Amino acid sequence: MKLKKIAGTCILLSSILAFFPETSFAIDTIKPFVRSATISPNYITNGNVEIQLNASDMDSGVKSIKLPDSSVVNGSTALFTATQNGKYLFTIDDFAGNTYTHTVIVSNIDRTAPTISHLTLIEKKDKTFKVIVDADDNVEVKSVVLNTNQSITKGANDEYYVADNLATAPTSVTVTDTVGNSTGAINFLDIPTAGYSPTNATKGNVKVSINGTQSLSYKVGFNNYSCSSKPCTFDLVKNDEISATNSSLTKTSTKTFEITNIDKSTSVLNLSGTRANSKISLNWNLALTSPIVTCESLSKGKTTPTVIGNSSSFSVPNESFQCIVSGSYQGYPIESNSLTIPPDYNQTIDVINPIENYRKEQFTKAYVEYNELGETYYINVNRSDNGDKKVPIPDSLR
């Protein structure tokens, strides 16, 4: 404070001349100051922040405080609510007219939701699901939760939030930061659809068809392909793993499946057989599914004897039979060689009168006639009697 002595001074006040004796006056030129300025809360928040300012003045005292919104409060204490980060100016006046401006910086308001850079949803071969979320926040991510209530965490050294072996495919994910800002439910892309034909075992190619709602591509083995139209179809020539991918700028969904029903290897079904004691016994080398034995003779026509395992044994007349076995092997249809079982020439041969004109040739005093089932010998085929049709085998045919 500065003091000035004024001696014998005359002051004209309201046209009245007065004389004052020697007097001392105190002139206040010192600015007021801020005793304290606090913000509440003083941690990161997604709400407002309250600023409390306490001012003081050593001489004349604090008259008023002008707030950042230009409103004025009397006295030395002021409260102001900050709704966003920034610099807030408070102007303090004392009764002597001195002014001081104080700045309060607010930087702990966070209303920014976390960001999701990329979402990945994968359907694996075993029909379980994997989720990869690339999320970040300007402060810190607190939680990543799928709509199936599955929470996803990541380790200190992990780059992404990953959930694997999920039984149910999620449709959305919500990311929330430590102060409660949330992305809301962000949807995953739909998983592509895929199908192929045939689905049963085949020795040919398999036609595969995939479809998706966004940009569509697929991978066969280690080779990548793009789809120019949808649905996207292609022929698969050998068993392989396929990944169909539906993608946008920030999202990817993939369906992985494997085709295993192509078998272009060659399996040979060998049929063998013998005749003994009026029975034919057949055997084959492969373990068939639902095997069917078909044997045919002139008198019996086609017969389908009972099958037990890899064999079949059945009673037959002593005439020529032609047999095959068919069924399914490792999912593929298969048929054996055609096997001819001749008559037992040491036994009486059943002679069948021909019912149609067969091609004939002379063979050592007997006729040999051929039909589609193989050689059948007709003894004395030109006889006219209707007697016993069983005759001994001539020596010339032994």
Give the pLDDT confidence of 184-210 residue by residue, as tens digits: 999 999 999 999 999 998 889 999 999
Let me know: does 306 contact 312? Beta carbons within 8 Å.
yes
pLDDT, averaged across the chain? 85
Q: Is the pTM of this model over 0.85?
A: no
Ramachandran area for residue 127 (φ above 0: left; ψ -120 to 50: alpha; else beta): left
Rounded to an integer, the average pLDDT of 251-264 is 94
Res 211: pLDDT: 97
Rounded to an integer, the average pLDDT of 262-268 is 85
Q: Is the predicted pLDDT of residue 326 greater than 60, yes or no?
A: yes
b/e map of 75-114 (b: 16 or more CB within 10 Å)?
ebebebebeeeeebebbbbbebebebebebebebbbeebb
* Angle (nearest 5°) at CA 251 between 248 and 253: 95
Q: Is the predicted pLDDT of residue 226 greater than 80, yes or no?
A: yes
Banded pLDDT at 312 (limits 50, 70, 90)? very high
Q: Is the predicted pLDDT of residue 11 greater than 70, yes or no?
A: no
Rounded to an integer, the average pLDDT of 126-141 is 96
Instruction: Tell me yes or no: is domain 271-341 CATH 2.60.120.
Output: no
Q: What's the sign of the alpha-carbon dihedral 341, 347, 349, 350?
A: negative
Type of residue at 77: T
Res 364: pLDDT: 37
Banded pLDDT at 22 (limits 50, 70, 90)? low
Query: May I ask the CATH architecture of the domain 1-109?
Result: Sandwich (2.60)
